[in-house]
């Protein structure tokens, strides 16, 4: 099994959620520790708080992956009577490396807002508040027909072949591959010095350019040939849109009030905030931005969303939403804790593909700072 170095895990994360996607001043990325550290245990969390760091210490964690950066602002001093500074000291004392993927993971295909849209059972999901477009490539690889299904599966698991609402998309054509192994070769088929003709399948898939290394690594890991033949071609056709959030349609129309109840049940909430002049209006189109997305509400209006879901809505922004006639559900920031389950599962996939000798642990700490207290009167 392969030893995992922190820099290798960071490279895999940044291939999945490239730093170029992050919002302006977001301090996402490498936070604390050593990039050259050997990693045997990884803790996956939404927030890095003192109780999470203690959990990491108790579990002898080497690497903490978080959605929210631990260092939003530079430390003004190193006075350890400050709980935040004490937490930094504990991280360094126990030789842990901390990495955060924040707004880049919010925007990434298959990232935070795709997870939230899926949890909300939205259909025909598209990026919301599009600001850029992702470069696409086509991979064509030649493989013996006996291994074509295995290669297709590996390509799909690595993120190739995703087109809109479809996945595992590919095109195959059968033909004859010819080669002659040289003396130093160790061929899967044939013998040195003898010409061979083999029935092969040409598999073609579309992939985001940012996932090129991951897809190639997955393909090469299962390809039987000593020297696989493949080609990568940049595409000039329309690229994948990139946006901070997602917009889609509900399975069946329901009222704003009923949808608010559905959100409560979906994310196991004891309460949420509803901003609406029309709580009985039917909802068909929903836009969602995890975290603090109040500033994007004008785009939800332009996209003709019946309902906008985001957290941390400010008082005056709520008034503006009402004046504009937009219904909004604020379920809080903590629904992004879905990152713990989703990233742990994704890391496990990467562990198997790369044969990493590492354990991934989902944090058991609930870091929501708010408790709802209901008036019994």
Return the exposure string of 140-153: e unless at least 16 CB atoms fall within 10 Å of the residue's CB, then b.
ebbbbeebbeebbe
Helix residue ranges, H only, the chain: 6-16, 50-58, 83-93, 103-107, 112-119, 148-157, 212-222, 256-266, 297-302, 315-323, 338-354
Residues 6+ apart with CB under 8 A from 224: 143, 144, 146, 147, 188
How far apart, in Å, are the Cα atoms of 111 and each of 133, 135, 245, 263?
A: 16, 17, 10, 19
Inter-residue contact 5 to 39 (CB < 8 Å): yes
Tokens representing residue 84 in the block: 């935040």
336 carries a ligand binding annotation: yes
Tokens representing residue 168 in the block: 């595992």
106 carries a ligand binding annotation: yes
Coil/strand/helix, residue 106: helix
334 carries a ligand binding annotation: no
333 carries a ligand binding annotation: yes
Pairing mode of beta strands 41-45, 63-66: parallel
The tokens 């004008």 sit on which residue?
A: 298
Residues 6+ apart with CB under 8 A from 78: 85, 88, 89
Helices and strands (DSSP H and E) totals, the chain: 11, 17
102 carries a ligand binding annotation: no
User: Annotated binding site for a divalent metal cation, which residues?
Assistant: 67-68, 106, 333, 336
User: Annotated binding site, which residues?
Assistant: 67-68, 106, 333, 336
């Amino acid at each position: 099994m392969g030893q995992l170095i922190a820099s290798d895990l960071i490279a895999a994360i940044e291939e999945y959620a490239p730093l170029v996607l992050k919002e302006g001043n977001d301090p996402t990325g490498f936070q604390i520790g050593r990039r050259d550290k050997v990693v045997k245990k990884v803790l996956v969390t939404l927030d890095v708080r003192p109780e999470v760091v203690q959990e990491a210490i108790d579990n002898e964690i080497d690497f903490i992956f978080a959605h929210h950066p631990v260092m939003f602002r530079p430390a003004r001093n190193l006075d350890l009577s400050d709980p935040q500074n004490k937490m930094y000291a504990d991280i360094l004392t126990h030789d842990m490396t901390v990495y955060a993927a924040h707004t880049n993971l919010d925007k990434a295909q298959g990232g935070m807002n795709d997870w939230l849209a899926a949890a909300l059972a939205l259909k025909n999901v598209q990026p919301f508040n599009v600001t850029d477009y992702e470069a696409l490539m086509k991979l064509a690889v030649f493989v013996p027909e006996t291994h074509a299904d295995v290669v297709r599966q590996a390509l799909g698991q690595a993120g190739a072949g995703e087109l809109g609402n479809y996945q595992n998309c590919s095109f195959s054509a059968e033909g004859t591959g010819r080669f002659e192994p040289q003396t130093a070769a160790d061929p899967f088929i044939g013998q040195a010095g003898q010409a061979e003709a083999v029935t092969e399948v040409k598999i073609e898939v579309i992939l985001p350019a940012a996932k090129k290394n991951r897809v190639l690594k997955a393909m090469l890991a299962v390809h039987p040939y000593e020297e696989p033949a493949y080609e990568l071609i940049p595409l000039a056709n329309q690229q994948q849109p990139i946006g901070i959030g997602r917009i889609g349609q509900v399975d069946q129309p329901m009222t704003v009030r009923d949808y608010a109840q559905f959100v409560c049940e979906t994310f196991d909430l004891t309460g949420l905030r509803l901003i609406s002049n029309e709580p009985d209006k039917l909802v068909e189109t929903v836009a969602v931005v995890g975290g603090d997305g109040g500033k994007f509400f004008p785009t939800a209006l332009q996209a003709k969303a019946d309902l906008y879901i985001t957290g941390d809505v400010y008082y005056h922004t709520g008034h503006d939403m009402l004046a504009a006639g937009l219904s909004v559900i604020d379920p809080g920031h903590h629904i992004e804790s879905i990152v713990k389950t989703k990233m742990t599962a994704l890391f496990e996939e990467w562990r198997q593909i790369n044969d990493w000798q590492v354990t991934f642990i989902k944090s058991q700490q609930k870091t929501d700072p708010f408790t709802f207290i209901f008036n019994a009167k």
